[in-house]
A and B are shown apart, each in its own frame.
Chain A
Amino acid sequence: MLAIEKLNQFYGESHTLWDLDLEVPAGQCTCVMGRNGVGKTTLLKAVMGEVAVKSGELRYTAEAGEIELTKKAVEARSRLGIGYVPQGRQIFPLLTVEENLRTGLAARSDGLKKIPERVYELFPVLKEMKHRRGGDLSGGQQQQLAIGRALVIEPKLLILDEPGEGIQPNIVAQIGQVIRQLINEDGLTVLLVEQKLPFARKYADRFVIMDRGRPVAKGEISELSNELIKQHLTV
């Protein structure tokens, strides 16, 4: 689905991603892990186009065939079916919940004018609070809104940056199940950043551990041993 090759990214003078290679197989959930500040969020932003990359390739397989993403504008990427749930929620604080969701309609190719009912089914609180301003929601509600908003696009590739953050346990579990369901039934591909091992273990297919801007270990999720964790995730 997405193949990343030799990706280099800089913030001003500081080199954040170093010759990064990464494969995100279609129809699977790939989980990126790593300590604070190693560049996970930066990687996702680079895929979305929110930060400029210095060099490297992002090859994305869409219906129309393989597309080089680095040449695409940000808004074009979401129109190619990439949904993004950023870290820190990034909802539109002064738009109502409903309007927040409606922004996602822009990227849909089918010109749908209504918010898919499925989103509300998944997060009933959003329906309840439809007319409240996004910024007034509680942290967890905002996170649910951010996920719901990405689902409005009906993405082919869903990028999630710590989606469980601030969400109550039973809904976290529910989110995990929905993701699995979408993967299994609709063939969705997921690129996930997650720190919480139980969640990763339960819902991801593959893992990648990053350190200092490059992957240092990868494999099937079952191969994620305590050994590896000690080695790369302990401070």
Chain B
Amino acid sequence: MRRFLSLALLCFLLLGITLNAQAQSTDAASSSTNDAAALELLEALDVESYTAKGEAITAILQSDDERARDWLQALLDGRLQRTEDGRFVLVLENRGRDWPVADVLTGEALGEMSRRDLERIGINNNLRNQLRSAIAVVDLYSLNVERRRTSAERLLGEVDGELVPTLDDLIAQEEDEQVRYRLTQAVAIYRAEAGEMAGVEALDGSLHPRSRVALSRAANGDDPVVANAAAASLSGIEQQLKINRGLETLYFGLSLGSVLVLAAIGLAITFGVMGVINMAHGELMMLGAYTTWAMQQLLPGQPGLALILSIPAGFMVAALAGVAIERGVIQFLKGRPLETLLATFGISLILQQLVRTVISPLNRTVITPEWMSGSLVVNDALSLTLNRMYVLGFALVVFAGLMLIMRRTRLGLEVRAVTQNRAMARSMGIRATRVDIMTFALGSGVAGLAGVALSQLTNVGPNLGQNYIIDSFMVVVFGGVGNLWGTLVAGLSLGVINQVLEPWAGAVLAKIIVLVFIILFIQKRPRGLFPQKGRAAEG
């Protein structure tokens, strides 16, 4: 399998034609005569045996049909299907019971068909690999730089001796820096594995895993000079990798931390500042997450836009729910903070079951928009996942916003006055009721925002809230109740500690250690990371 790519490339080259050259010379008139041949090619795919299918793929690759790439892509995506009357169709949208289809050969839309009447040309992972390689081969000659980059990348570790001269030619012709670099690297990997000094030298400092595999093979080779050079290269690379791994762990930690911060920051308002032990906080987050889902249902095909709109919408939905909770229950519990625990726990049960009954007990799918998936590649050994980077940034923005509101607006002052001495605050003319509503709405709304962010990382389901409530309280308390900075620092540091511990302790033990750490830390600082100091706090 490993060598399939070079094989395919070779056959392809032997034909001595490139598709893009071909594409120009083909005209529409010849397509009908081609259809019979094309049908034959496709027929060959509709067999039981995967080996036979593999051969059929090669045949398609070798044919000079300009639609070959599209067919292969359709096959790869599982959209190449057959109707009962033997027609090959392309499934345009395969969700639900009836799917819209189009004819593969003519491209003519055929309306919707029942999935019962369609039979898919199945592939397995082997064929998938083969297809990818095949497409890559075609793409190596593509005019599109992106496609060339992808296919050059695929060549790493897949090159064999026969291919080297061809690749050297390609390198000479290639204009794009990146494609050239990858192709050079691909050749170097082959050479290093073959024990050639040139290969080893070219791979020095390369962080790509394939290079490392090649170098370690070279290091075990017979020629002591090459082996030594390879070993030296390797140890240099290991050093680099260690640094990269450290950075990666830090990133993991900050990103886990940002999730904790997001989950906790709303609670830092409702619990930390207002003193309401809000057990329904998690369910408010859940509402935010479901809002994202609902948005995506409302705007099918535009997951990104839906996600962006979910930010204000999630805030509003959760904030309104917060207002309802405050008006309906919490206002009657003034001065009885512990009772809020009881009531909000009841509310959280109700909200959970409400979602189960009204929507579904099952998780909902929230789609990650294109621009949020994948990673930002820093180098071959370090890439930062984009969705988490967005979440990290989002958490910081939300934090900064809250900080501004609490520090710079009158609401911040008034809510603190009201919680510290309600009667006196009212005597000073502060509208305590309004302050309560607004603050609770703010805290709840932020929970909603957290839910929007979480929908990109984890399950959107009725249990979402339950999974975060304990952690949230822990972060708020660990940071020091009533201190927003504390929440930020606590969340981020717990995240980092957890991720640093995880590789050597395992996920379960790491969690236990973090909990024990919290217990011991509180012994040292009985009022959290950033305690309220002085007479005032001691009361």
Contact = CB atoms under 8 A, between A and B. Distances in A.
A and B directly contacting (CB within 8 A): yes
Interface of A: 48-50, 73-75, 77-79, 84, 86, 90-95, 99, 102-104, 106-108, 133-136, 149, 153
A74 B534 CA distance: 31
Given A95-B420, A106-B428, 20 more contacts: A73-B426, A74-B423, A75-B426, A75-B429, A75-B431, A86-B424, A90-B421, A90-B423, A91-B421, A92-B424, A95-B416, A102-B413, A106-B430, A133-B534, A134-B536, A135-B535, A135-B537, A136-B534, A136-B535, A149-B428
Nearest to B416: A95
Contact of A78 (B414, B428, B534, B537): B428
Give me the 10 closest cross-chain CB pairs, A-B, nearest first.
A135-B536, A107-B429, A78-B429, A93-B536, A74-B426, A106-B429, A90-B424, A136-B534, A92-B420, A103-B428
From B423, B427, B430, B431, residue with most partner A Cβ within 10 Å: B427
A94 B416 contact: yes
Interface in B402-423: 410, 413-414, 416-417, 420-421, 423
B536 A103 contact: no
B427 A74 contact: yes
Contacts of B429: 75, 78-79, 104, 106-108, 153
A102 B431 CA distance: 14
Interface in B451-494: 482
Contacts, number: 84
Interface in B522-539: 532, 534-537, 539
B345 to A, nearest CB: 28
Contact of A93 (B414, B420, B432): B420
Contacts of B425: 92, 103
A77 B423 CA distance: 13
28 contacts: A73-B426, A74-B426, A75-B429, A75-B432, A77-B427, A78-B429, A84-B427, A90-B421, A92-B416, A92-B424, A92-B425, A94-B420, A94-B482, A94-B536, A95-B413, A95-B417, A95-B420, A99-B417, A102-B413, A103-B413, A103-B428, A106-B414, A106-B429, A106-B430, A133-B536, A135-B535, A135-B536, A153-B429
A134 B532 CA distance: 13
Nearest to A132: B534
B428 A94 contact: no
Given A94-B532, A94-B537, A136-B536, A99 B428 contact: no
A3 B420 CA distance: 32
A103 B417 contact: yes
Nearest to A99: B413
A12 to B, nearest CB: 16
Contacts of A108: 429
Nearest to A74: B426
**B interface bracket (residues with beta carbon within 8 Å of A):** 20 to 34
Nearest to A76: B429
Contacts of A99: 413, 416-417
Contacts of A93: 420, 535-537, 539
Interface of B: 410, 413-414, 416-417, 420-421, 423-432, 482, 532, 534-537, 539
A73 B429 CA distance: 10
A135 B410 CA distance: 21
A99 B482 CA distance: 16
Contacts of B426: 49-50, 73-75, 78
Nearest to A78: B429
A219 B428 CA distance: 31
A103 B416 CA distance: 10
Contacts of B537: 93-94, 135
Nearest to A133: B536
A94 B538 CA distance: 11
A104 B410 CA distance: 12
Contacts of B482: 94
A85 to B, nearest CB: 10
Nearest to A100: B417
B439 to A, nearest CB: 15
A160 B414 CA distance: 23
Contacts of A95: 413, 416-417, 420
A49 B423 CA distance: 9
A77 B482 CA distance: 30
A136 B537 CA distance: 9
A50 B423 contact: yes
A29 to B, nearest CB: 20
Contacts of A48: 427
A86 B535 CA distance: 21
Contacts of B431: 75, 106
A129 to B, nearest CB: 12
Contacts of B539: 93
B415 to A, nearest CB: 11
A92 B430 contact: no
A107 B535 CA distance: 29
A28 to B, nearest CB: 23
B420 A75 contact: no
A50 B427 contact: yes
Contacts of A91: 421, 424
Contact of B428 (A73, A135, A136, A153): A153
A204 to B, nearest CB: 23
A108 B430 CA distance: 11
A136 B538 CA distance: 10
Contacts of A136: 534-536
Nearest to A113: B410
A133 B536 CA distance: 7
B482 to A, nearest CB: 7
Contacts of A77: 427
Nearest to A79: B429
Given A78-B428, A103-B428, A135 B413 contact: no
Nearest to A80: B429
A107 B532 CA distance: 28
Contacts of A84: 427
Contacts of B428: 78, 103-104, 106-107, 149, 153
Contacts of B536: 93-94, 133-136
A136 B432 CA distance: 25
Given A95-B417, A95-B420, A103 B430 contact: yes
